[in-house]
Chain A
Amino acid sequence: MKLRKVTAAAATALVLSLTATACGGDGKSDSADTGSGSGGGDKIKIGIKYDQPGLGLKEPDGSFSGFDVDVATYVAKELGYNEDQIEFVETKSADRENALARGDVKFIAATYSITPERQEKVDFAGPYLLAHQDLLVKADSDITEATDLNGKNLCSVTGSTSAQNVKNDFAPQANLEERSGYSECIAALQSGRVDALTTDDSILAGFAAQEQYKGQFKLAGLKLSNENYGIGVKKGDTETANKINTALEKMVSDKSWNKAVTDNFGPAKYKNEPAPKIGNIVK
């Protein structure tokens, strides 16, 4: 009978520990859920990126920083929410349209370029920034034009349009590697495995300015495309879109836009375009 007791105890312990972890986990997700019901708890959920320094980054202390974050915070305040009512949610590139369609987030400010394909699925406010596709190369690199990439190694993030642009239009002979994130691409650039990394110059500048990479990389300064960053809202939610547009106009006129630019892009020495006019999408 002794064995029975031991095994029974072991089994109970196992089950208990399992349920304990499960409950612990559940409790956590519950608390994260309290704000999800629209209107419940008077919170506003905003979609941003977590892994793009200078635009949207989750800092080690758990706070968020970047230009997108500042714009989103300003807009949320104009919509009538306090800073502590804002809840930031990570919206990865592939998830953005869905998160809006379901109403998981009120709006998205996550390097979200306005394109005709996306406009079929979501509505955009803005644009609030004009960025361009560019190349990040080593500081001593002699790549100055996109055509220099022919026969060279190029890195971009899986599924991004910037990689295809280069391959289709500028340098068909480029050897393209796609990786899961920008920091993985930068690691490849640092080790010499690839010669250039391509995406929007705003994103590249943020990475180049990071403490660990200072002085190692430079932007080639090419304007390979126009990326009009807009704020995505649910399709048909013109009321919110209009409110956001008003907020964005106010942000430019009261110089908060300039301050956000200097705060976030200043350290990166990113030469940004002047504030775009609402509704003026540069093709």
Chain B
Amino acid sequence: MSSVLYDTPGPRAKQRNVLLSVVFFVLLALLLWWVWQTMDDKGQLRWALWKPFTESQAWTTYLLPGLSNTLKAAALAMVIALPLGAVFGIARLSDHQWVRIPAGAVVEFFRAIPVLLLMLFANAFYDLYTGVSSEQRPLYAVVTGLVLYNASVLAEIVRAGILSLPRGQSEAAMAIGLRKGQTMTNILLPQAVTAMLPAIVSQLVVIVKDTALGGVMIGFTELLNTRGTLAANYGNVIQSFVVVAVIYIVLNFILTSFASWLEKRLRRSKKSTGAVLGADDVEDINAGEVGGTPATGAGGGTI
């Protein structure tokens, strides 16, 4: 689409583009050279600091258990939040005001609050009022915080998924005499779930990223947290950071690629209604759609 902003370059434009490319390349190279040089000066490039990551023990003792906790928290949060979100999403579409309005209020409330606040609160709550052991508490708190926030986001995804279906679907269902509940469970939901799949996978990326908050702020031993124990052993704070960042990037890149593959696949197929909720829709919902839907406009999210 963006190519309409400029013509196919002629000789002068080509020259200018080459010049710009060279200038930009030199600037980038200078920046990289400065980064490299500074790290070298500070002794951060010494092989001894990077070597631990080529040995299996750094992975089996610190990073992999951390990563497994990250994935565990993310998976638990998704599995619990999904049905909750479905219930609230459908409740917001109810014909009855006394169902629709409270459900809407709950969803908008939890979308307006930072997930870190929810985690801190859950942590203190479990500490004071329940018998969860202090070993398990951080996991419980992280999952609770993630569920409260993501259930409300998923509720919006479910709602948007159902609304994205053509009106004809529910009209046809009514015409053949299905009741409202039947229309929802037999006609709308199955199609909406298909449309929502890419959006749900994209939401997993948000969840995985948010688990890191629990590691820093409430001592949940996920990837970022076990990095600290690793660095206490090898004395490689920066190096461990780089490695952990790369792990996150690879993990989330796989998830996003999977989501966009799903989205493309669903869009291409002609037999469906063509309604698909993609990653971009998730972004909007995460931050709370403004003005788009009859939502009250509050909300917001960890993008």
Chains A and B are bound partners: yes
Chain A: residues with CB nearer than 8 A to chain B?
A: 1-4, 6-7, 10-11, 14, 18-19, 21-22, 24-26, 28-29, 32, 36, 50-53, 57-62, 89-92, 94-95, 98-99, 102, 104, 180-184, 186-187, 190-191, 210-213
Chain B: residues with CB nearer than 8 A to chain A?
A: 42, 48-49, 52, 55, 57-58, 60-62, 68-69, 71-72, 75-76, 78-79, 127, 131, 133-136, 139, 193-194, 197, 200-201, 216, 219, 221, 228-229, 231-238, 262, 265-266, 269, 271-272
Across the interface, do A22 and B75 meet the contact criterion of CB distance under 8 Å? yes
Across the interface, do B79 and A183 meet the contact criterion of CB distance under 8 Å? no
Q: Select which of A4, A24, A25, A183 is within 8 A of B232 by beta carbon.
A: A183
**In whole angstroms, what is the CA distance A187 to B237 when docked?**
7
Q: Select which of A180, A191, A210 is within 8 A of B42 by beta carbon.
A: A191
Across the interface, do B228 and A51 meet the contact criterion of CB distance under 8 Å? yes
Taking the closest CB of chain A, its distance from the CB of B226, in whole angstroms, is 9
Main secondary structure of the interface of B (DSSP, over half): helix
Contacts of B229 in A (CB 8 A): 50-51, 58
Contacts of B221 in A (CB 8 A): 90
Contacts of A183 in B (CB 8 A): 228, 231-232, 235, 237
Across the interface, do B233 and A98 meet the contact criterion of CB distance under 8 Å? no
Across the interface, do B193 and A11 meet the contact criterion of CB distance under 8 Å? yes
Contacts of A94 in B (CB 8 A): 219
Q: Across chains A and B, which 3 residue pairs bring their CB atoms closest together, nearest first?
A: A25-B72, A212-B235, A51-B232
A-B contact count (CB 8 A): 122
**In whole angstroms, what is the CA distance A181 to B72 when docked?**
25
Across the interface, do A36 and B135 meet the contact criterion of CB distance under 8 Å? yes
Name the CB-closest residue of B to A99. Answer: B134
Contacts of B271 in A (CB 8 A): 1-4
Contacts of B269 in A (CB 8 A): 3, 6
**In whole angstroms, what is the CA distance A3 to B267 when docked?**
11
Name the CB-closest residue of B to A181. Answer: B228
Across the interface, do B68 and A28 meet the contact criterion of CB distance under 8 Å? yes
**In whole angstroms, what is the CA distance A92 to B265 when docked?**
48
A-B contact pairs, 16 of them (CB 8 A): A19-B75, A22-B75, A25-B72, A28-B68, A28-B72, A29-B136, A53-B232, A58-B233, A62-B60, A104-B133, A180-B216, A181-B231, A183-B228, A184-B228, A184-B237, A187-B237
**In whole angstroms, what is the CA distance A148 to B219 when docked?**
35
Contacts of A4 in B (CB 8 A): 271
**In whole angstroms, what is the CA distance A29 to B133 when docked?**
12
Across the interface, do B75 and A62 meet the contact criterion of CB distance under 8 Å? no
**In whole angstroms, what is the CA distance A191 to B79 when docked?**
44
**In whole angstroms, what is the CA distance A130 to B23 when docked?**
63
Across the interface, do A25 and B228 meet the contact criterion of CB distance under 8 Å? no
Name the CB-closest residue of A to B76. Answer: A22
Q: Select which of B127, B216, B235, B272 is within 8 A of A98 by beta carbon.
A: B127
Across the interface, do A104 and B135 meet the contact criterion of CB distance under 8 Å? yes
Across the interface, do A60 and B57 meet the contact criterion of CB distance under 8 Å? yes
Across the interface, do B52 and A60 meet the contact criterion of CB distance under 8 Å? yes
